[in-house]
Amino acid sequence: MKRTWIKTFCLFTSLVCLPMSGMTLADEYEAFTEPYRRIRVSSSEMGVITEFLVEEGEAVREGQVLAQLDDELLRKSLEVSRAAKDAVGSKTAAEAEVVLRDQQVQSYRRLFTQGNATPRELERAENDHRQALARLQSVTEELAVRELEYQRVLCQLEHRRILAPCNGVIVMKAKERGEFVSPTDPVVLQMVQLDRIKAVFSVPLRRIDQLRDGQDVLLRVGSKRASVVGKVEFVSPIATAESGTVRVKVVVPNENNQIRSGVVCWLDLEASPNAIRGARTRVSDAPLILSPAVR
């Protein structure tokens, strides 16, 4: 009698618990939120850091100046190249010579038609005119090269400024003011892009046919399991043989830094279209407002 009761109790327990555990495994897959990008901001030039214009934890915009390398020598070179490109005396002299030689040619042609100049004299005047044109062309080309040299120095000066490659948050300074940036160690700062958050899930092969690039999916974020809508950005074409899962990357908009990086989240593959639409309209609800701190 006792043995029969134990068997009955075990059977009842398995019938109750098995569907619940199976539902959890089938419906949701766990991951952690991450910054959309982690960027090691580097310098393309060598030099000593003279100034940092941002601090750790500061939000920055794309194109904002983050740090400055020493550029005193380049500024002097810029002054020299500017003076060289603006020096037009040689061009003015060459243009005047062209005008003079052209007048001489016209004069010799009139004299030649009148019989007062020989063919050799006319030919010499025309040759002098061609040489004057060649000198003017040479001076013009030299000034064009000087202009390019000026633009090159300007470009080098621009590269002495380290700019933010995208909107994000500075998380670490890899160097301090006065340190040297070399080709073997070019990283100056580290930043993360948080206006979008990603989560990478390991989805079993039996469920992967439900997902495709660009598809809207429902995520449950944080301890309060706030519902947010993400978009499938990447479904790996290969599976992990050991676990029988496929890597799926989901991206969630995070313009106001409402979602914290490093928070647990779940991918709900059983969410209905109505649930996804409802989560999209409730994107500003209180449970979603999380600290923008970086994991």
Q: Do residues 248 and 284 both lie within one domain?
A: yes
What number of helices (H) and strands (E) belong to the chain? Answer: 5, 12
What is the domain-level CATH number for residue 182? Answer: 2.40.50.100
Residue 218 structure tokens: 């429902």
pLDDT at 255: 85
Q: Do residues 124 and 79 both lie within one domain?
A: yes
pLDDT at 256: 82
pLDDT at 281: 59
Q: Do residues 61 and 180 both lie within one domain?
A: yes
Buried/exposed code over 55-84 (b: 16+ C-beta within 10 A; e: otherwise): eeeebbeeeeebbbbbbeebeebbeebbee
Task: Give the structural domain span for 271.
Answer: 26-37+193-288
Q: Do residues 85 and 210 both lie within one domain?
A: no
pTM over 0.85: no
- pLDDT tens-digit profile of 141-195? 999 999 999 999 999 999 999 999 999 999 999 999 999 999 999 999 999 999 9
Residue 178 structure tokens: 């006065």
What is the domain-level CATH number for residue 219? Answer: 2.40.30.170
Q: Do residues 200 and 250 both lie within one domain?
A: yes
Considering only CA atoms, give the Rg of the chain: 36
Query: Which residues of the chain carry a pLDDT beneath 70?
Result: 1-27, 279-295
Q: Do residues 116 and 237 both lie within one domain?
A: no
- Look up tokens 């070179």; give the residue: 77
pLDDT at 117: 85
* 95 lies in some domain: yes
Q: State the total domains in the chain.
A: 3
pLDDT at 53: 94
Task: Quote the CA–CA distance of 259 and 62 in Å, as a whole number.
Answer: 21
| Residue closest to 250 by CA, chosen among 235, 270, 271 | 235
Task: Quote the CA–CA distance of 281 and 259 in Å, as a whole number.
Answer: 16
